[in-house]
Each structure stands twice: as C-alpha cells, then as structure tokens.
Amino acid sequence: MKVLLVVILVLFGSGLMILGNHGLALSVEGNLGQFSKLYVEWVDQVYNNSQVLTGHAIELDWLPG
C-alpha cells in the first residue's frame, strides 16, 4: 500500500512540475493535449534512463578481486 501511495505521489508531483515549468493551465483549450504529450515524453525518458542505468549496473564487476 505504501509503494502504491509513493508511485501516485511521484506521478502527481511530476505532472505538477510539467504544468509549472511550461506555464500550462489545464482550463485553457489545447493545453491538455500539450500536457499529455509532455507527460508521455517524460515517462518515456524515465523508462529509457532506467534501462541505461540498469545496463551500466550489470556491466560492473561486483565480485571482489
């Protein structure tokens, strides 16, 4: 339950950051589509970065020499 709450808070907070950084008001026509596009791009970038990070972590030598 705590993990779900953290995930919801992160997604909500990231949405607020996107709205604030781009000066979007969802009450204005057309901004919802722009927000959706920006949010999907952000999620895609997080996914790509996590793949790169995991790939680099796998390549490291974790055993003592």
Whether residue 64 is contained in a domain is answered as no
Whether residue 65 is contained in a domain is answered as no
Whether residue 6 is contained in a domain is answered as yes
> Rounded distance, CA 24 to CA 14, Å?
13
Q: Tokens standing for 33?
A: 């589509």
Whether residue 9 is contained in a domain is answered as yes
Q: Tell me what the mean pLDDT of segment 8-21 comes to.
A: 94
pTM of the model: 0.77
> Rounded distance, CA 35 to CA 22, Å?
9
Domain enclosing residue 7, as ranges: 2-59
What's the structural domain count of the chain?
Answer: 1
Per-residue pLDDT reduced to its tens digit, 46-62: 999 999 999 999 988 88
Whether residue 13 is contained in a domain is answered as yes
Whether residue 30 is contained in a domain is answered as yes
Task: Report the mean per-residue pLDDT for the chain.
Answer: 93
Q: Tokens standing for 49?
A: 């970065």
> Rounded distance, CA 44 to CA 42, Å?
5
Whether residue 40 is contained in a domain is answered as yes
Whether residue 8 is contained in a domain is answered as yes
Nearest 5°: the CA angle 13, 1, 39 is 25
pLDDT for residue 60: 87
In single-letter form, the type of residue at position 28 comes to V
